[in-house]
Chains A and B, each alone.
Chain A
Amino acid sequence: MSVLNIAEVTKTFSGGTNAVDRFSLDVAGGELVCLLGPSGSGKSTLLRMVGGFEQPTGGRITIDGEDVTHLPPERRPTGMVFQSHALWTHMNVFKNVAFGLRLRRMPAKQIREKVEAVLELVGLAGYGDRMTTQLSGGQQQRVALARSLVLEPKILLLDEPFASLDQHLRERLRDEVRDIQQRLGITTLFVTHGQDEALSMADRIVVIANGRAEQIGRPDAVYRDPKTPFVAGFIGLMNLIEGEVKNGHFIRSEFTTPLPIADGPATLAIRPEALDLTASNAPTARVHRVTDYGSHGLVDLDLADGTRLKSTVANLDLFQAGQGVGLLPRAVAAYRENQQIYRS
């Protein structure tokens, strides 16, 4: 059963920017969905429309069957965590978290209990009397999370909440948020432009480009089977090769590989780990550079026309710069007119 339904939602700003374009999404109860996309793709705008901070210029948003499209934020059962945490600096931690409960005219004793419980949940037990400016960036973000969670929203909205934190803290908070989210079973929309974040914590990923959903699916599915060249290039490392198909073969420079589709232009996608290198008398590519990542090696290759490809190899010692090699793709996908038309 879906808790959040976004139907054909469009947002055109007064300047004419089409930030979100006929976007549709269904989010099930307890699900964590990541909105993943490059800068300016409309992720924040979409999230802000769900939270009620922007008005859609088209489409409908329903939460638990209730149409909230035109409700102001204070009347929506959503809780938002901002990138800049947006804590109220003139209140201490306790008052920040308690503010929403006070508005609901909850008795003081009950407020105290709830605030203490939620501070404990986010790992800030005993921090109630601190001023928010006396907290570290990570702690501030936890307070912001507590401030939303304490109201038990039906939908939690997070807009790049960890973007301003360092790598380690980001990973730790990411795990903590995922734990809390699963423990409370709270439906969550999470905006990020870090694919690690999306792949590691999401139940489902929505890849957004230019305000449209390019692909919606489970992280592994999006990674293994990108449906558009954009997704293929955006998630993980990918060789994307523009070329021609003739008589069942894909051709780019001296590189050809069997591809059973109709003749015409095509984009071929091969993961570096699915591109094997062979010794060859008639080499189709030349090794440009070899990089050792410890767990594996990465070989940069050039086709004769300069096209750069990457291949992951287990044994680095076999390759050195300048060497000619043959290419043997083990798995490919092909795209034409922005659609996937073949996958092996």
Chain B
Amino acid sequence: MTTLAPAHPRIDWSGMVLALLLTLVIVGPLLVVATWAFTEVWRYPNIIPQQFGFRFWGQTLGRPDVWNALILSLRLSTVVTLLSALICLPAAYAFARMTFPGRDILFFSFLAGHAFPKFGLLVAIAAIFLQLDLIGTFWGVVLIQLVGTLMFMIWIPVAAFQAVDRRMEEAARDVGAGPLRVFWSITLPQAGPTIAAALLLSFVGTFYETEGAWLIGAPGIRTMPILMISYINNQMVIQYGAVLSVLLWVPSFIALMFARRIIGGGAFARGFGG
């Protein structure tokens, strides 16, 4: 192992190996997929495609179902994230700052829902939704994906609220702010970066969510990831799937850029550290 502060600069072999492994495991497949997206001909045993081109981009983007799915996915993610914030932020604040009977059990149950195999839960919910005529509807999918965001939209903001100095809030009360005003002007901005991280996770997580969207949404609701899966399953043209998956990176990139802008690197990391 390497020491924390080596006396003289040395090559950090273990670090290099780790970086290399990460590159192979994460960047490698991404590169392959990206390459496929711009490939027109690539036959075994060649290492490099014989012919690059945008033919499949034109074909993929020319399909109305792709655009419908993209817009639907963005709408879903936005609605789910907003609803989740509306429900979870006040709840997280309550968990962090108030004592009420059953508080610990309730908090635990939010986390416990994610400790069990998720598919069983989904099937149970699907059965209920069938009764309520929510299967195959936009709001049905919203509801199921909302459930998926609950854990980190509660857990992370609870940690964020708990980290806010109580004295700061008291000082605001002292100069005349009521409880709501204190929450809005002091607590929320103080917890802001961490909560922004949770919102981002919620948005991106919802965008890529497939299990719930498929189980509840099919066949009427086809989100981007589901569309991609069906392409890969039903059509032997690899490029369709590759183009779509490259397209799917776009929201993560935008989200990450956005995150860096509003939070800044350090605060973003702190958000995950609590």
Contact = CB atoms under 8 A, between A and B. Distances in A.
B175 interface: yes
Task: State the main secondary structure of chain B at its contact with A.
Answer: helix
B175 A103 contact: yes
Interface in A284-326: none
Contacts of A88: 168, 171-172, 186, 189-190
Contact of B165 (A74, A86, A99, A144): A86
A99 B172 contact: yes
A53 B170 contact: yes
A249 B191 CA distance: 68
Given A89-B190, A90-B190, A103 B181 contact: yes
Nearest to A147: B175
B83 to A, nearest CB: 27
Given A86-B165, A89-B190, A90-B190, A80 B171 contact: yes
B59 interface: no
Highest count of chain B CB atoms <10 Å: which of A87, A99, A144: A99
A99 B175 CA distance: 8
B167 A82 contact: yes
B177 A74 contact: yes
Interface in A56-94: 72-74, 78-80, 82, 84, 86-90
B174 interface: yes
Contacts of A87: 168, 171
Interface string A119-150: 00000000000000000000000001001100
Contacts of B177: 74, 99, 103
Nearest to A80: B174
Highest count of chain A CB atoms <10 Å: which of B175, B186, B189, B190: B175
A42 interface: no
Contacts of B185: 99
Contacts of A82: 167, 170-171
A84 B175 contact: no
B181 A73 contact: no
B170 A90 contact: no
Interface string B151-176: 00000000000000101101111111
Contacts of B176: 74, 100, 103-104, 151
Contact of A84 (B165, B172, B174, B189): B165
B9 interface: no
Interface string B175-207: 111100100011001101000000000000000
Contacts of B165: 84, 86
A208 to B, nearest CB: 22
B31 to A, nearest CB: 41
B66 to A, nearest CB: 42
Contacts of A52: 173
A73 B170 contact: yes
A287 to B, nearest CB: 50
Contacts of A151: 175-176
B102 to A, nearest CB: 18
B173 A84 contact: no
A37 to B, nearest CB: 21
A86 B173 contact: no
A51 interface: yes
Highest count of chain A CB atoms <10 Å: which of B168, B172, B176, B192: B176
A280 to B, nearest CB: 58
A78 B168 CA distance: 16
A316 to B, nearest CB: 48
Nearest to A101: B175
B162 to A, nearest CB: 16
Contacts of A148: 174-175
B190 A86 contact: no
A86 B178 contact: no
A100 B168 CA distance: 13
Nearest to A76: B174
A36 to B, nearest CB: 22
B168 A74 contact: no
A80 B166 CA distance: 14
Interface string A223-262: 0000000000000000000000000000000000000000
Nearest to B192: A90
A187 to B, nearest CB: 16
A3 B185 CA distance: 32
Contacts of A74: 173-178
Contacts of B190: 88-90
Interface in B30-58: none
A241 B95 CA distance: 54
A118 to B, nearest CB: 13
A90 B195 CA distance: 15
A8 B223 CA distance: 68
8 contacts: A53-B173, A82-B170, A86-B170, A89-B168, A90-B189, A90-B190, A103-B177, A104-B176
Q: Which 10 A-B pairs have the closest CB atoms?
A: A100-B175, A86-B167, A73-B173, A86-B171, A90-B189, A103-B176, A80-B174, A74-B176, A82-B167, A86-B168
Given A80-B170, A87-B171, A99-B177, 8 more contacts: A72-B173, A73-B170, A74-B174, A84-B165, A88-B190, A90-B189, A99-B172, A147-B171
